[in-house]
Amino acid sequence: MARGGVYDNCGGFHRYSVDERWIVPHFEKMCYDNSELLKNYVHAYQVTQNSFFAGVARDMIRWMDEWLSDRTHAASTLRRMPIIRWTMTAITSPGLSKKRKRH
């Protein structure tokens, strides 16, 4: 799932996709969806010691801390992500794939 369209470079998983190939994510990210997936990625790392799983888990924790925690009261359960429209030039640009490397 972390290599697909429902996971983005901000960290965390979108709730679902709006296309049949699961490439275009829906704009909502839910705390409870991500918390369940976080447990799975941490467990996958514990079992396999594969650093990819640890990297995904770290990104998810960072995203939850930055976007769902307000540091004064409680955590939010939902974050509506801004809709970003890409041009075909931006998508096929060689620099885009170098912006963020995954483990």
What are 27-44's pLDDT values in tens digits? 788 888 888 999 999 999
Backbone angles phi, psi at 26, to 5 degrees: -70, 155
Residue 100 pLDDT exceeds 50: no
Q: Indicate the helix (H) or strand (E) that contains 28.
A: strand 28-30
pLDDT at residue number 64: 83
Tell me if 17 sits within 8 A of 24, measured CB to CB.
yes
C-alpha 10: how far from its chain's center?
A: 6
- Neighbour-count burial of 31, counting CB atoms closer than 10 A to its CB (0-12 exposed, 13-18 middle, 19+ buried): middle
Q: Of 96, 97, 79, 100, nearest to 29 (Cα)? A: 79
pLDDT(96) > 70: no
For residues 71-88, give the mean pLDDT. 53
pLDDT of 14: 87
More confident call, 83 vs 26: 26
